[in-house]
Amino acid sequence: MPWPSETNHDTAIFDLLEDERSRQATGLQLIASENFASPDVMAATGSVLTNKYSEGYPQKRYYGGNAVVDDIEALAIERVKKLFGADHANVQPHSGASANMAVYLGLLNPGDTVLGLSLDHGGHLTHGSPVNASGILYKFHSFKVGATDERLNFDEIRELAIAHKPKLIVAGTTSYPRRLEPEPFKKIADEVGAMMMFDIAHIAGLVAGGAHPNPVPFADVVTFTTHKTLRGPRGGCILCRKELASVIDKAVFPGSQGGPLEHAVAAKAVAFHEAMQPSFKEYAHQIVKNAAALAAALANHGFRLVSGGTDTHMMVVDLTPFDADLTGKEAQLVLDSAGITLNKNAIPNDPRSPFVTSGVRIGTPSVTTQGMREAEMPLIAEYIVTTLRNRNDAAKVAQVRAKVAHLCAKFPVYANLKAS
C-alpha cells in the first residue's frame, strides 16, 4: 500500500522545517542548552528503530523481535560507562528531568528531605522548585549563591545540611557559570550521612572532554541530558554505583516510563562514540575558551557578568549596568530579529519577574561546533551591543542581521542538509 505522502506530500510541515534549518544556519545560536547534533546522530534518531517497541531491558523484553535493539542498547550502555568511568548506566530516560525524577523515585520516599540549588540562583525546576513535582513530593531546602560574589558558599551549604539532615544532596545547575567541584559536595554528604546526586545536564560534554571535573567517582548517582554540550539527541541518562543499579533501573522502568525510545538510544550510542574521539576533547576545551573570550568582550562593552565571569560553556549577563531600562525579555526579542538567539534569564536576587528578568544567558556550544574560535567572539559581542543600543531602529537591526548571516556562512554546520 502506498504511503499517503507519495501522493500528498506534507509541504506545510516540510516547508516549516526548511525555515527552521535556514534559521539555524544563518543565525548565531547562543542558547546555552542547545547545540548542533551530527548528521550521524540525526540519522539514527530518524531511523527504522522508530518502528520498534521494546519495553524492558536487554535480554529482558516484553516484546519479541528485539535482538538488534538489545545489541544497540547494550552498546550505548557500555560506551557511556567507559566514557564517564561509571559502574552502571541506564540510557532509557527520555530527558534530564525524567532522569532526575526517576532517581528521586528510586532513592527517596515522599516527604524526604533534600538539598538543592534554588531555581532563581541557577538551579533547575527538578531541584525542588515548588511548582515542580520534585518540590511537591519531597521536602527540598534550597541553598543560594553569595550576595556579593554570586558563587556557591560550601560553608553555608554545610550548615544547611547539618541543620536539615537531608537524605539526598543534589548538585547541579542550569545557569551557574562556574566550575562545580564534586569533592566539597561529597565531603558534606558524607558528614551528614546523605546520598549525593550530581546533575551534569549542562556540562556532560565538558566532563566527557576533560574540560570540567568528573563527578562520577564521588557521587552515588549522576544524571545528564545527552544533548547540550554532549551534542547528542534529545534525551537523558543515569549513571550510578553498582549497588544502586537495580533500584535505579526499576525506577526508570516500570517505575516512571513505559517503552524506551530506541531510536533515541541508538542516537545516544552514536553521540557517546563521537565523544570518545580525540577531536571531542579539543572541542570541549574550545567551548570554554570561547565562553571566556565572549564574556570578556561583553564586559568591555559595559555588561556585568554574574559571578564576574565564567569557567564553563555559559555566562549570565546582567543588563542593568549597560542599560537600566533594558529587560532580558526585550533583549531576547530584538536579538532574535538580528539573528542572535539567546534567552532571558534571571540574575541572583532579580527584582524583575522571571518572565521579564534583568539578564540573559549566553552559551558557546553551538558556535564552537560550527568552528568559531576566540577571534570571532568580540565580533559576536559587537553584534549584540549594536543591536541592543539600536533596538528601536529596524534598519540598523537589519544591518546586524545581514552581518550575522555573513559570519555564519563562513562556518556552515550542515553543508548540504535539506529538510526533506
Active site residue: 174, 225, 310, 387, which one? 225
Look-up of cell digits 522548585: 129
Active site residue: 21, 34, 53, 304, which one? 53
Residue 159 CA to residue 7 CA, distance in Å, equals: 67
**50 in active site:** no
Active site residue: 18, 26, 34, 55, which one? 55
Residue 57 has pLDDT above 70, yes or no: yes
pLDDT digits (tens, 9 = 90+) for 69-89: 999 999 999 999 999 999 999
Q: Give CATH for domain 25-37+280-409.
A: 3.90.1150.10
Q: Per the structure block, which three cell numbers stand in for 418?
A: 535539506
pLDDT digits (tens, 9 = 90+) for 147-164: 999 999 999 999 999 999
H helices of 46-117, where? 67-84, 96-107
Whole-number pLDDT of residue 406:
98
Whole-number pLDDT of residue 165:
97
Residue 260 has pLDDT above 90, yes or no: yes
The alpha carbon of residue 115 and the mean position of all alpha carbons in its chain are separated, in whole angstroms, by 21
Which residues of the chain does CATH 3.90.1150.10 include?
25-37+280-409
Whole-number pLDDT of residue 392:
97
**87 in active site:** no
The alpha carbon of residue 386 and the mean position of all alpha carbons in its chain are separated, in whole angstroms, by 28
Active site residue: 199, 262, 274, 318, which one? 199
**53 in active site:** yes
Q: What band does 419 get if pLDDT is binned at 50, 70 and 90?
A: low
Give Cα separations from 70 to 41, 76, 80, 270 (angstroms). Answer: 19, 10, 16, 15
The alpha carbon of residue 209 and the mean position of all alpha carbons in its chain are separated, in whole angstroms, by 15
pLDDT digits (tens, 9 = 90+) for 190-249: 999 999 999 999 999 999 999 999 999 999 999 999 999 999 999 999 999 999 999 999
Query: Higher pLDDT residue, 3 or 327?
Result: 327
β-bridge mates for residue 168, sequence order: 114, 195
Query: Higher pLDDT residue, 374 or 7?
Result: 374
**228 in active site:** yes
DSSP per residue, 87-130 = SEEE---SSHHHHHHHHHHHH--TT-EEEEE-GGGT--GGGT-T
Work out the average pLDDT over 172-191: 96
Q: Phi, psi at residue 360, to the nearest 5°?
A: -135, 155
Which residues of the chain does CATH 3.40.640.10 include?
42-275
Residue 286 has pLDDT above 80, yes or no: yes
Name the residue among 24, 72, 36, 79 with its Cα closest to residue 283.
36
**55 in active site:** yes
- Region of poorest pLDDT, from 87-96, 118-127, 237-246, 324-333: 118-127
42-275 belongs to CATH 3.90.230.10: no
pLDDT digits (tens, 9 = 90+) for 26-44: 999 999 999 999 999 999 9
Name the residue among 87, 45, 73, 86 with its Cα closest to residue 269.
73
